[in-house]
Each structure stands twice: as structure tokens, then as C-alpha cells.
Amino acid sequence: MKNLKLKSARAALDLSQQELADLVGVSRQTISSIEKGDYNPTINLCRAICKVLGKTLDELFGEE
């Protein structure tokens, strides 16, 4: 399932996939795969993304 919450939060901060990837230490392809729902990130990566985007785990990765 696509992660539109992640994509929206990233866009709200005017961050590209590459910029977010650089901030959390992964490749742009990893961020793209998470947003498309093709990759299930580790909890540590989820927490790093949340910290950068100023969101909670539930806000970005919780079920609808």
C-alpha cells in the first residue's frame, strides 16, 4: 500500500526524496520504494524518518 502520508509530510517540508534520503542515511530509491509501498522499512529507519519530518510513528506509518 502506498504511503501517501510520508510523501505528503516530505512535500510539506519541501524536501525531495534525495534530500530526505541524505538526512536519514539511505538511498533515494529506498525512500521511493517506501512511498510506493514496495519496501517495509525497519523500525529504526521509520524513527529516523519521523524525526526528520517532525512526525510520530502513528502519523506516518500507522494504519488508516
pTM over 0.85: yes
User: Mind listing the domains of the chain with CATH numbers?
Assistant: 4-59 (1.10.260.40)
The pair phi, psi for residue 41, each rounded to 5°, is -70, 155
One-character DSSP codes across 5-63: HHHHHHHHTT--HHHHHHHHTS-HHHHHHHHHTS----HHHHHHHHHHHT--HHHHHS-
Residue 35 has pLDDT above 90, yes or no: yes
- pLDDT over 90 percentage in the chain: 92
CA distances from 32 to 21, 29 (A): 9, 5
| pLDDT at res. 63 | 81
